[in-house]
A = this chain, B = another copy of it.
Amino acid sequence: MIIGKVSGAMHSTINHTFYDERKTLVVDKLNPDGSLTGDYLIAIDTVGAGAGETVLVIDEGNSARQIVKEDNAPIRSIIIGIIDEVYVKI
């Protein structure tokens, strides 16, 4: 799993029906110190994450399908938590 920051959202009209009503967010990947890695993911939100929030993201299809409870969903990346704090060098 990785740490990310919600930096935006995307919108599509023509898409697989699974995405019709989904909140589809742009998530920038972060290093543990909060700096940007330069990489990103498009992820489905299931925890009510908003812009600027630091989130826990999992990038694995089977995990994502379990969460949305659709065995046939074409999905791989999903937000599974809003991170309150990252303690580095505990």
Which A residues are within 8 Å of any B CB, using their own CB?
A: 1-3, 7-16, 18-19, 24, 26, 28, 31-32, 40-43, 46-48, 51, 56, 58-67, 72-78, 80-90
Contact = CB atoms under 8 A, between A and B. Distances in A.
Given A3-B42, A76-B59, A89 B16 contact: no
Q: How many copies does the complex hold?
A: 5
Contacts of A86: 8-11, 26
A12 B55 CA distance: 9
Contact of A82 (B7, B13, B56): B13
B8 A81 contact: no
Nearest to A37: B39
A14 B73 contact: no
Contacts of A41: 1-2
A41 to B, nearest CB: 7
